[in-house]
Amino acid sequence: MSVVTRGVRNAFRNQVRTLSIVLILSLSIGLALSMLLAHQAVNQKIKSVKSSVGNTISISPAGVRGFEGGGTPLTQAQINKVKALPHVASVNATLSDRLTSDKTSLQSSIDPGNLGRRFASNSGASGGQQISGGANAPDLTNFTMPVTVTGTDNPTNLASTQGGGTFSLKSGQVFSTGSSENVALLGTALATKNNLSVGSTFTAYGATIKVVGIFDSGNTFSNSILVMPLTTVQTLSAQTGDVTSATVTVDDVSNVSSATTSISSALGSAADVTNDQTRAQESITPLQNIQSISLYSLIGSVIAGAVIILLTMIMIVRERRREIGVIKAIGASNIKVIFQFMSEAVTFTLLAAVIGIAIGIAAGNPITNMLVNNSTSSSSNSGPTTVSLSGRGGANGLPGGGAGFRAARNGFGGGVRNTISNLHTNVGWDIILYGLGAAIAIAVLGSAVASWFIAKVRPAEVMRTE
């Protein structure tokens, strides 16, 4: 009988002990696999967050926020200067304007409501009069909302508009980057309100504009806007080279701070430069907490498994000193003795690994979710993140007059919770094989260390002590 076969059979000599060892070891392997899966999921999520969240910088003319405040538009020359700065991956410049009934044949699809009339009254009357302010208040009975138009070379990026949302082309096509044609994309609500479809025309700034596409953004405001090529809006509105906002995408979130400083220095007092680095870090910090916890737990469970194997084999080897002496007396070498106990340890480990892998796969997501909930609670207790959500359609073409929307668009708020709550573990054969290989390596090492000392004992000494 070979030493390997003898070692496998010896693993089942004491079934109660074998069952106990396998169960304890399987829990250790299961916990290690769960932590490995959680750690991998967090690493992937951190990479995703760093590449897509918080790596943008907002630029606006000093004193301007949407259609609020005042200030002087930025110029294309200033935007070109920003494009040349280090770590700037791209710059999306936009020119926003409002088309009243004397500038366009379009009718806004947004109902003014109480907020729209209130803001219009404030902006149209001296002294901040309200609509109910008396005989001198302006007559807003027939007031209609202006149509918001955005000039951009990146029409599918609705984050560059005041409304935000996700661009979904319903019909037609998107105009090309750098276009200067009199064409436009209409939100579904604006197109429906004016009975327009792809190929229809309307007038704006005294020119005839052709509808080339209809899009859906998923929100009321963006579905009521008009998107045109940047050059076209600049030319038709007599604002050649003017830009009212720009979104800078930085190559990596770690470079946002330095890029913000460079842009501020390049533009000086002409622009307000802001970024979301702080909120991005708020999103990443809970992930890093989970990463640390999962790593330490992984190390701890691996050490626990190694100690279990080592102590088990030390106990088994000591119990079989007489057997070892007999085997050596009939000619077995130290290597054969070691291989026998290594085979026994590997048998324990393989049995435990089958159960442990099943436990790890089943517990991967629940344990990750538990870590997420604990991390989210800690983040919430350390200081809540507030996001302002405004009503629909203010008079200035911004939701709620524009004051709260930019915070809602740029803020993460619940996004911190959503970012980490969307973690899901993925089990691949590579992880299973790596885990199994590590378990076997620990078993081999632990059993070899334990059996080496006993295998060196002389048979005569063992027999005499017995």
State the pLDDT at residue 133.
43
| Lowest-pLDDT choice from 85-94, 132-141, 401-410 | 401-410
Calculated CA dihedral for residues 177, 179, 182, 183, nearest 10 degrees: -30
Is residue 29 within 8 Å of residue 351, measured between CB atoms?
no
State the pLDDT at residue 120.
62
The amino acid at residue 408 is A
- pLDDT band at 88, cuts 50/70/90? very high
Give me the mean pLDDT over the 130-140 stretch: 48
Give me the mean pLDDT over the 57-74 stretch: 77
- Statement: residue 262 has pLDDT above 80: yes
Quick: pLDDT tens for 21-33: 888 888 888 888 8
Question: Does residue 301 or residue 262 have the better pLDDT?
Answer: 262
Quick: pLDDT tens for 357-411: 888 788 777 877 777 666 655 554 544 433 333 333 333 333 333 333 333 333 3
